[in-house]
Amino acid sequence: MNSTPTDENRFHELVNENRNKILRVCRAYAWNSADQDDLYQEILFQVWRGLPALREKQFANTWLYRVVINTAISFVRKRASGSDRIVHFEPAYITRTIESRQAVEENQDDRIASLYTAIYKLNPLEKALVTLFLEDFTYEQIAEATGISANNVGVLLHRAKKKLSHLMKEEVRNE
């Protein structure tokens, strides 16, 4: 792909303005840090690849979220159905992984960690809806980013919130 300095500037501007949002989506869709890094790189690639199609600056954030969410969903599907399907680890490895992840998250608010754990358990569409909602997108913006109607966004988001609440309560009971 031939890129112009303008494309490079737009890319850097768009990514820098939305880096934390992109990272939050990566965290919601990929559990471990290696997968989060892989997903982040894939998102950047897809944003760069699709940037020439973005014509109007006013729709940049909606367009970006569409790319981010669709890439995240594709990433999860590819991981679930591909050759790197599910690797069976020894229980000691799982315990070490969980303990190291918990050590990292000790510096963060427990409710946020609990929320992300619950979000991770949602299906891809629910993750997309909740992630966009947490970024203060309107129902209309979420509808545009996901390709479903605004009314359907409201219904599905309501169900996702109830499911999140249940998952978070369940996690508290299991502690």
Q: Please give, one letter per residue, the 3-state secondary structure of 88-105.
A: CCCHHHHHHHHHHHHHHH
- For 67-90, what is each residue's pLDDT tens digit? 998 898 888 878 776 544 444 444
Q: How far is CA 160 from its chain centroid?
A: 15
Closest C-alpha among 94, 104, 141 to residue 27: 104
The number of folded domains in the chain is 1
**pLDDT of 151 strictly over 90:** yes
- For 10-69, what is each residue's pLDDT tens digit? 888 889 998 988 988 888 888 788 888 999 999 999 999 988 877 776 577 788 888 998
Which residue has better confidence, 152 or 84?
Answer: 152
Closest C-alpha among 163, 59, 173 to residue 118: 163
- For 126-135, what is each residue's pLDDT tens digit? 988 888 888 8
Provide the residue type at 28 as one letter.
A
Return all residues near 14 (Cβ < 8 A) that are at least 6 apart.
47, 51, 60, 64
Give the domain range for residue 58.
5-174
Q: Tokens for 53, please give them.
A: 């199609």
